[in-house]
Amino acid sequence: MASSFSRFSQTLLLLVVFWGITSSSNAQLSTDYYSKSCPNLFSTVKFTVHSAIMKEARMGASLLRLFFHDCFVNGCDGSLLLDDTSSFTGEKNAVPNRNSARGFDVIDDIKSAVENVCPGVVSCADILAIAARDSVKILGGPNWDVKLGRRDARSASQAAANNGIPAPTSNLNRLISRFNALGLSTRDLVALSGAHTIGQARCTSFRAHIYNESNIDLSFAKTKQSNCPRSSGSGDNNLSPLDIQTPTYFDNKYFNNLIGKRGVLHSDQELFNGGSTDSIVRAYSKNPSSFSSDFVTAMIKMGDISPLTGSKGEIRKNCRRVN
């Protein structure tokens, strides 16, 4: 009798473990998550993203950056999109995002369009992921199948945003450490930094690099100084392309710039400054297909950071506030 009960207990335990594994796997992200519930999702998102980029090419980089800044703060959960409320201070006014993160109105437009074709189905977190992919593709970069199934957070954290997003003043060790903490390798770091082949930076984020540092081409520094005064408070919001060669086209020119000591941000030039990432930068500068492949791999990995799935979180009706 005892033996039979023991065998029954073991069988029950195995069933529980198996159920747990399958339940966990069912909650994972997949590329066909909305194939039945929202079959027109991709075309709907792409139309709005394309329209926004045609109006302003910089918007593609801004949408890509929103996804990065969302995923690096408690995972890819759409928390960045929440406006401040009386109960919590959100991430939009954190140091890395204040007067810097942009494109929220485009995300609103995408969400509105998606709600029209499949109301209450698609999360804002997933919309960020698709918009980032579409932005890269539209600006000449690689394409990939986006993994979906994320749900939206019901809260946000300004403190987590201040601590979680690497600053443009970060040194290489800090960059590697932060990326590694999120399951991203050093190669992922360099590949994802290649997103700076598009977009622009504010004077406040690169002033110290062009005036106070030596690992920068002198003529390049002087050119940047002409549009970014030394004194703080003067021209703080003046912009510079992050890639001086092809600022609105997604390619590997960013890495050529680093080799020529023409990285706009301190954190950019840290990737090619006699350290462990020099060889990766050189490789990407010579082989654009290698960069594209690694960028896709890194973007998919980044999109896997701590998503809310299953019954966690919610599907927001409005990306700026919880339901």
Distance CA 200, CA 198 (A): 7
Q: Is 73 annotated as a binding residue?
A: yes
Q: Is 243 annotated as a binding residue?
A: yes
Distance CA 59, CA 67 (A): 13
Q: Is 194 annotated as a binding residue?
A: no
Q: Is 126 annotated as a binding residue?
A: no
The residue annotated as part of the active site, out of 50, 69, 209, 266, is 69
CA distances from residue 190 to 176, 286, 297 in whole angstroms, order as listed: 9, 14, 12
**Is-catalytic flag, 69?**
yes
Q: Is 121 annotated as a binding residue?
A: no
User: Cβ distance 91 to 165 under 8 Å?
Assistant: no
Q: Is 247 annotated as a binding residue?
A: no
Q: Is 77 annotated as a binding residue?
A: yes
Distance CA 178, CA 214 (A): 25
Q: Is 145 annotated as a binding residue?
A: no
Q: Is 58 helix (H, G, I), strand (E, B) or coil?
A: helix
Length of the chain: 323
User: Cβ distance 227 to 238 under 8 Å?
Assistant: yes
- For residue 4, give both structure tokens: 């039979």
Binding site per annotation, positions: 70, 73, 75, 77, 79, 91, 166, 196-197, 243, 246, 251
Cite the annotated binding site for Ca(2+) by residue number: 70, 73, 75, 77, 79, 91, 197, 243, 246, 251
Q: Active-site residue numbers?
A: 69
Annotated binding site for substrate: 166
